[in-house]
């Protein structure tokens, strides 16, 4: 599962990996460049780190889903 939260200057994405690995917090600038990434034990730890470093409220995250439209096209949608 992926989660996304945005500010005026940043887009933050959390991607879950296998339970043995944990979850990654990726930080992107307004141009879409990944400017930082962090590995944590789980999604909640990523949300807390995003709050502590970037001031992103833990309740501001939305679920990010990728929906296949056609064989070669995908569309990214978010859900609260």
HSE, side-chain direction, 13 A CA sphere, residue 70: 2
Question: What's the pLDDT band for 78 if we cut at 50, 70, 90?
Answer: low
Flag whether pLDDT at 7 surpasses 80: yes
DSSP-H helix ranges across the chain = 43-54
List, as one string, the DSSP characters of 19-68: TTT-EEEEEE-TTS-EEEEEEESSHHHHHHHHHHHH---GGG-EEEEEEE
Among 4-18, 24-38, 62-76, the range scoring the smallest mean pLDDT is 62-76
């Amino acid at each position: 599962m992926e989660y996304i939260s945005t500010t005026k200057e940043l887009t933050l994405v959390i991607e879950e990996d296998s339970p043995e690995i944990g979850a990654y917090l990726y930080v992107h600038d307004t141009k879409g460049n990944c400017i930082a990434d962090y590995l944590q034990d789980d999604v909640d730890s990523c949300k807390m780190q995003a709050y502590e470093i970037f001031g992103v409220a833990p309740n501001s995250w939305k679920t990010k889903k990728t929906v296949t439209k056609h064989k070669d096209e995908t569309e990214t949608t978010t859900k609260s």
